[in-house]
Structure 1
Amino acid sequence: MIIYTNPGNPFGLKLLICAKFAKKEVQVKTVSINDAEIKDMKHLPILQLPSGVQLFSTDVAAKYLLQGETPVIQRDEWLEWSTTRLAPALAHNMAVGSRQDPNAKPILNSLVKFLDDNLSKNTFLTGEKLTSADISVWSLLAPDGTLKGAQNIDNLLRWYRAIKVMPEVTAALEQLPLAELSFASLQHSNKFGGLHHIVLDPEIIDFEGQVLKDTSDNIAATVQKEEIQAAKDLFVPVVEREVVEEKIVLPKAGQKNNLITSALPYVNNVPHLGNIIGCVLSADIFARYSRLCGYNTLFICGTDEYGTATETKALAEKLTPKQICDKYFEIHNSIYRWFGIGFDYFGRTTTAEQTQIVQEMFIELYNGGFI
């Protein structure tokens, strides 16, 4: 079996610990949600069975790995509680910036109190024997800072420490260390950006006391002087390199050389906005970006002057094909320049150089047996 997970995902640790207790051989692969290996399941972690079936629900995967657990009803209730209540509350509470939810702290406070009260009655969540429910909750509380400043949770701490030293857990932590776990990793675990799309329910608050220590609502106020100094020490100033744009752009050894072109606008009529948007604008934007990056950039384009449409237009205006091309090339060239499209070279498909290049390419393909 294979566990696919992104770096630092506590749910990935949950599956690995379950596999260790189940004595199952599993391979842990660190991936992103866009990797081809996880197929259409844009949700991590995933447990892939020997048959190739992929389970994206960690609760289903846990019950598959640890079959025969009892009591089933209590175990399932705790699994659902950890996934639908505890995990979102922790994610919202530990978020920063715009993702920070001021309503998360009192909700998490109530959930932690509920957890501690239940553990005052039993050694583990469902009784005297550890189940996947304990593993699920423990994995969520494992990342650093989840219960920062918590007080009066002796039962919870006793339970947490007892699980941490179990051989199966220590073996799992050798593969997925505690120091690497982070709720920020959940933002990259699915296409919804983690668990922040789940709205917390204030009605579940049934405890008015304070278990978790209050922290400042101002994020800047929680930054320590040592952290600021560390950031200053590690900051690397970058001196911008002056880029000189040459009139004749040739490839340069040791530099990134970008050749950019676009769909060639047809030359049998006056260009309109669609020509600019559909043909040259995107290439012009990328060329500007490439130059700003300091890359050696050549942006070329031109007018397409071959085809029946050109001949038809020439007949309609009683001109030769060359005359019609000369006329509309000047119109196209001047309009694109007026819009500020930054071609390094704007040519034509009817020039002698273009003809020679095309014929050489044809001969090379023909001699190679491709035609």
Structure 2
Amino acid sequence: MGECSFWDWITDTLHLRDLPFMGAPSLMFNVRYWFGTIAVAALAWQVLTGLILLLYYQPSNAYDSTMAIIHNVPFGSILLSSHLYGAYVMILAAYVHGIDVFLRGTYKKSGGAQWVLGVLLFVLTLGVSFIGYSLTGDVLATDAVDVGKGVLTALGLQSLIPVFFGNGTQLDLFTRLLGWHIIVAAVIILLFMLHYPRVGYRVPAISRNNDLTIKPWWPRNLIFTLAVTLLTWGVILLIPSILAVPQVLGKVPILFSPYPGPSLTSPQASSIPAYPPWFFLFLYKMVDMPFGLTVNAVMGIVIPLVVLLIIPALDRGGSPHLLDRPWVTALFITGLIWVIELSVWGA
């Protein structure tokens, strides 16, 4: 018998082929099928950078400690700005991933639970991003907290304001925000651990164990995943690095600035308009509608969330083709256009 190669030796020694990771058909090795991986890669970056930022962030002095991270901590500037843009990439990838899943109709039949988990993950991602955005303590964070309190009041949940936003002191506010930021992030990780294994239930029908088109997870699936992950991390690092260049930073709209705005007590605060992060522009404009805050909140939050969660129950037909499910497709596209229009309007 000939001597085995080094990689074969590694594979056999570590029993890599025996690990319980599924293979993937060749057709899934393209960007369309891997926006979920991009979102997970961004989540991994958020966890890594978030744990480091946690060592330096002080709820008792939120804004000053945030600025100290930028100016005094080694690599603190890129650490903080990449944490921000990691959230942006994660949200954008989740948007595209969700739209693609709907267009392919994989929420049908056995994919219904997967769709519901995905919707919950997306909502929690928006929530954890909102909380993180509020932790900086700048003027925009203050506006965000006020909007959050207003939405809870409009929904009749004002009794939860002390739970999420504290007893009115700055220390209690930022301590609770930090705690909820960590809790929601942990829930996202737990739900992902439920979400990921179910991917195997919604791959195309050709995906069977004895199908020769299925590539084993080692090495192709692993290498492809690592490539997508490293590419995602590169983008997360590159974009805020470019935006932070002094010649560029002054021209960056506040919506996409890699750094916090001025503090609430700064003379510059009065010149900063109340702006939400870009991923909440649609909601910002929705709650500004002339129907009253309660109606606006129900129309902008409750109804869309309920509709998204029950889509698998509403559309139980067999065919995933768009033309075979016209009414639910029209509803989804109308909602998507509504989000885009409100976001542009809110900007």
TM-score surpassing 0.5? no
Larger radius of gyration: 1
Range into which the TM-score falls when normalised by the shorter chain: under 0.3
Q: Higher relative contact order at CA 8 Å, sep ≥6: structure 1 or structure 2?
A: 2
- TM-score, length basis structure 1: 0.20
TM-score by length of 2: 0.21
Which is strand-richer, 1 or 2? 1
Task: Judging by fraction of residues, say which structure has more helix.
Answer: 2
